[in-house]
Structure 1
Amino acid sequence: MSETFILGLLLLISPLVLLLLSIKRTNSNKLNLPPCPPKLPLIGNLHQLGSLPHRSLRSLANKHGPTMLLQLGQVPTLVVSSPEITCEIMKTKDIIFASRPPSKIIATLLHGSDDIAFAPYGEYWRKARKLCVTHLLSTKMVQFFQHAREEEVDCMMANIYETSQKHGYVNMSSILNMFATNIVTRVVSNDLFRDQEKKSNLHMLIEENSALVGAFHPADFFPLIGWLDIFNLDWRAKRNAKRWDNILEVVINNKAKRLKDDVSHNNNRDFVEVLLSLENDPSVDFTFTRGNIKAILMDMFTAGIDTSYITLEWSMAELVRNPKVMKKLQDEVRGKARGKDMIRDEDLSKMSYLKSVIKEVMRLHPPVPLLLPRVLTESSELSGYKIPKNTRIVINAWALARDPKCWEVPDEFRPERFMDSLIDFKGNDFQFIPFGAGRRICPGMNFAMHNIELALANLVNRFEWSMPENLSREDLDMNETPGLTSRKEKRLDLVAKFLAVG
């Protein structure tokens, strides 16, 4: 966040905020609040967030402690990078920390926050989440999609081979995004899976969603100026919501017509058809509208594609940068494969080093480095500090996973740290929560991990990987993009040498 921007914002909002402060001022000295870094008048600590807030906030935590109460404009925000306090928030007192703060951008993009990820904690969220788990994300459904998953991995292998033969190198960022998009669209909406034009637009829409949700929106921190669209963010959100709506409306209408014309169409339904069948089902004990369907579908596409794609891209980058790890992983995978040209789901349980590599990638590069914000629904106490009601809660998962008190040489890529370790990402080890924890843990965790493990095992089994000509592994750019999710800033180009097996 530039100094010019801060100055401009300060000049713009100062009369309004000063008026508010003159009307409503609290004496925080009487409260035992967590420490706060020095702040500026009116904007508080906003200027200290930087373009990559997870990194800036860890630097602040190193100086002021792992539990800080920042003032972001008019919004008190508790930033946590302590496993113990995270456990208290996500486990001991989870129910009062389980809701989401209101957001103008989210409301615009997601039909008034009618999705699962950003919906307030309550009856609708519980029932919508249960619906998605039952019909798409359960262990039973993940197993049901095994054939589709393996077919898409096989298509990716063929695509890599053909592209490598043609160009001499492969744009792995594009290849991996295509794989993640194919598998998610295939199980969520077969119609969208078959429509290449609409499917290719999904990447653009998902990237824009990530940028908008992760951007600084003045209305969220200065409610008095919520009517001002200073940076065209409201306009961009409305434009992106309309583009999503154009795609989803066609998909939903086509599905609705097909279901109406073919009442016997009960087997092998995709997720859109399941949702439509529940739209007017009297046994569903909550209002379920087209807006709900669209918001839930946006969640499934965005979270499902992004998690798999981002983790696979960082995995390939880290493996190329660390040839000893690559060799050890290839030895394990090829040893277990025993000459098979295609590794299948049943082979993965034998590959402990593969799972350790993926855990280490997600430790260093959690897809959402600052977990989705929470809001405290009643006043509480954490580690002796008073936390007022309506305080926004930010958990720095990136900082937790690099805490030197929890991890030896935390900034180094060492998959061996997870071998023979009980630490996992399932929400019980609070120094490692790439999928979150507690009630709001990501329901698509198993779905994503099956996609990632199967894809990565086959990538290292069938190909030898190296940097393009005249580039060394030290030249590989590992910078991140700003936004809700943590992607590689520059695309990943690699040379893939095909290995005949058998």
Structure 2
Amino acid sequence: MEDHHYLYLGLALVSLLVVIAKRRRGPAHGHGLRLPPGPWQLPIIGSMHHLAGQLPHRAMRELARRHGPVMLLRIGEVPTLVISSREAAREVMKTHDTAFASRPLSATVRVLTSGGRDIIFAPYGEHWRQLRKIAITELLSARRVLSFRAIREEEVSAMLRACAAAAAAAAPIEMRARLSALVADATVRAVMGDRCRDRDVFLRELDRSIELSAGFNPADLWPSSRLVGRLSGAVRRAEECRDTVYGILDGIIKEHMEALESGGGEAEDLLDVLLKIQKDGSLQIPLDMDVLKAVIFDIFGAGSETSATTLEWALAELVRNPKAMRRATAEVRGAFGARGAVAEHALGGLRYLHLVIRETFRLHTPLPLLLPRQCQEPRRVLGYDVPRGATVLVNVWALGRDERYWPGDPEAFRPERFEAGAGASAVEFKGADFELLPFGAGRRMCPGMSFGLANVELALASLLFHFDWEAPGVADPAEFDMAEAFGITARRKANLLLRPVLRVPVPSA
């Protein structure tokens, strides 16, 4: 957002008189409606000055503390409802789920998703229902996720060998890059059947697309202004990103189609599944190639980025909290010590490790603001009228740190809060408990939860089983840098530089 401050100021100065005149001629906004409260606004930029210089989810929490859990902002020219309580989130994602089941398509997202033809951003309707059914029953079902176990184990083993080499050299590892590569390689193999020779380019463009999708580009904030669209390069960058990714996918899809035509056997990867569904031709809305590529891009964007971010935060919190690290490490080594390696099929017995993951989701939900929804029909939320067309943001980061739901220092990393007998023991993250929503809830809940969790659990357990972890140059773990970076996902701002100390030998390939 800081990169565009001068552009915002210039637009405000140039357009102020025009907008004021237009408003004087038009009817009063919200006449007869009980609109939600919100902070004071400026012409053109609306409420953006209240967010400047801060991470949006943090700034919105502070505003909600003053104006309430249902708050109406205007970000640029986009009316935006911000939800910051469990009760309001339940009304949006359960009581009135259908009315809020669609997504707004910003200028950049429209480009990246070929006009909303993917799963994540597709408008609520038959096209989306068809794609979601395919995702749940064919692509990301429990049976399909289980079929990729060997891939996950092979990729985790390769990562462990690299960590062992670093431990032998007493060299630190930049864990963000290592974890991102792990999840990306496992995802690529699950989707395409083999590693991608253009992986680095693909991941670079994936990062760019995630940055562009955050919704704070000038073209997204003032969609009615052609001038802003021309001045902003975000749409052009989105087109370049999409074209690069689709170009890589074109070659891979061609290879898969040739293999299927030659009788390549049963479908083994997700791309094969999609191509067979396309060839079958039984769908009400046929899968053309742009839809197929958009769905693949979704799986990478949603699956790899969020899993790698969760792994990074979990490891960072354990390093920062030695007591939790000792307990998690003792559990995993006690469970798998005789075996000499972590086995995915036995991960269900690691009770404390799963509490660590749940607490990581609470403090560091991968998407601090759930992907936006859009109000399709006028509805009331906690007694306030929500105007048709308003963008709706659920601040799950604020929900996860609200002392009303998490008493006893909600900012502290304490997996024990979820233990049997503790106040939060019954709170899960599967969409039924609205104070903990890392995957969302309702119709637009993430269908890839099992796929993402599988990548997180095996990798984290294996890293703790084989190694102790030290942060070079950090004398007091409590001072470990935990600042967040701006983006649609909340990554750590600083690199996660850790030194592995080998405790349990890593099996050779």
With normalisation by structure 2, the TM-score equals 0.94
Which aligned pairs between 1:387-398 and structure 2 lie closer than 5 A?
387-398=386-397
State whether residues 229 and 235 of structure 1, in contact with CA within 8 Å, keep that contact through their aligned partners in structure 2: no
Q: Measure, in 2, the Cα distance between the counterparts of 1:311 and 1:22.
A: 49
**Residue of structure 2 in register with 1:71 after alignment:** 74
What are the superposed Cα offsets for residues 430-488 of structure 1, whole Å, 9 maximum, x if unpaired? 00001100000100001111111111111101001111256553453211111111111
2:438 to 410, 416, 434: 434
Q: Measure, in 1, the Cα distance between the counterparts of 2:40 and 2:309.
A: 35
State whether residues 152 and 179 of structure 1, in contact with CA within 8 Å, keep that contact through their aligned partners in structure 2: yes
Per-residue deviation, 1:146: 1.4
**Residue of structure 2 in register with 1:131 after alignment:** 134
Q: Per the alignment, do residues 471 and 231 of structure 1 end up closer, same or farther by CA in structure 2, a change over 3 Å counting?
A: farther
Q: Measure, in 2, the Cα distance between the counterparts of 1:172 and 1:203.
A: 16
Farther off after superposition, 439-448 or 250-259: 250-259
Are 2:118 and 1:119 equivalent residues in the alignment? no
Are 2:299 and 1:296 equivalent residues in the alignment? no
State whether residues 37 and 64 of structure 1, in contact with CA within 8 Å, keep that contact through their aligned partners in structure 2: yes
**Residue of structure 1 in register with 2:32 after alignment:** 30
**Residue of structure 1 in register with 2:57 after alignment:** 54
> What are structure 2's unaligned runs of at least 5 residues?
none
Q: SS of 1:79's equivalent?
A: strand
Q: Measure, in 1, the Cα distance between the counterparts of 2:267 and 2:281.
A: 22
Q: Measure, in 2, the Cα distance between the counterparts of 1:4 and 1:107.
A: 25
Q: Measure, in 2, the Cα distance between the counterparts of 1:190 and 1:501.
A: 29
Are 2:268 and 1:257 equivalent residues in the alignment? no
Are 2:358 and 1:359 equivalent residues in the alignment? yes
Q: SS of 1:69's equivalent?
A: strand
State whether residues 400 and 432 of structure 1, in contact with CA within 8 Å, keep that contact through their aligned partners in structure 2: yes
State whether residues 321 and 478 of structure 2, in contact with CA within 8 Å, keep that contact through their aligned partners in structure 1: no
State whether residues 40 and 47 of structure 2, in contact with CA within 8 Å, keep that contact through their aligned partners in structure 1: yes
Q: Measure, in 1, the Cα distance between the counterparts of 2:430 and 2:91.
A: 16
Per-residue deviation, 1:331: 1.2
CA RMSD of aligned residues (A): 1.8
Per-residue deviation, 1:5: 4.5
Q: SS of 1:330's equivalent?
A: helix
Q: Measure, in 1, the Cα distance between the counterparts of 2:368 and 2:42.
A: 26
Are 2:418 and 1:407 equivalent residues in the alignment? no
**Residue of structure 1 in register with 2:12 after alignment:** 10
State whether residues 218 and 226 of structure 1, in contact with CA within 8 Å, keep that contact through their aligned partners in structure 2: no
Q: SS of 1:30's equivalent?
A: coil
Are 2:494 and 1:473 equivalent residues in the alignment? no
Q: Measure, in 2, the Cα distance between the counterparts of 1:225 and 1:330.
A: 55
Q: SS of 1:96's equivalent?
A: coil
Q: Which AA in structure 1 matches 2:239? A: K
Q: SS of 1:100's equivalent?
A: coil
**Residue of structure 1 in register with 2:202 after alignment:** 202
Q: Measure, in 1, the Cα distance between the counterparts of 2:34 and 2:454.
A: 46
Q: Measure, in 2, the Cα distance between the counterparts of 1:453 and 1:108.
A: 34
Number of residue-to-residue matches in the alignment: 497
Q: Measure, in 2, the Cα distance between the counterparts of 1:23 and 1:345.
A: 65
**Residue of structure 1 in register with 2:456 after alignment:** 452
Q: Measure, in 1, the Cα distance between the counterparts of 2:21 and 2:117.
A: 34
Are 2:468 and 1:464 equivalent residues in the alignment? yes
Identity in percent: 39
Q: Measure, in 1, the Cα distance between the counterparts of 2:100 and 2:444.
A: 10
Q: Which AA in structure 2 matches 1:285? A: Q
> What are structure 1's unaligned runs of at least 5 residues?
none
Per-residue deviation, 1:218: 2.7
Q: Measure, in 1, the Cα distance between the counterparts of 2:127 and 2:267.
A: 27
Q: Measure, in 2, the Cα distance between the counterparts of 1:107 and 1:485.
A: 19
**Residue of structure 1 in register with 2:235 after alignment:** 234
Per-residue deviation, 1:223: 2.9
Q: Which AA in structure 2 matches 1:286? A: I
Q: Per the alignment, do residues 391 and 165 of structure 1 end up closer, same or farther by CA in structure 2, a change over 3 Å counting?
A: same
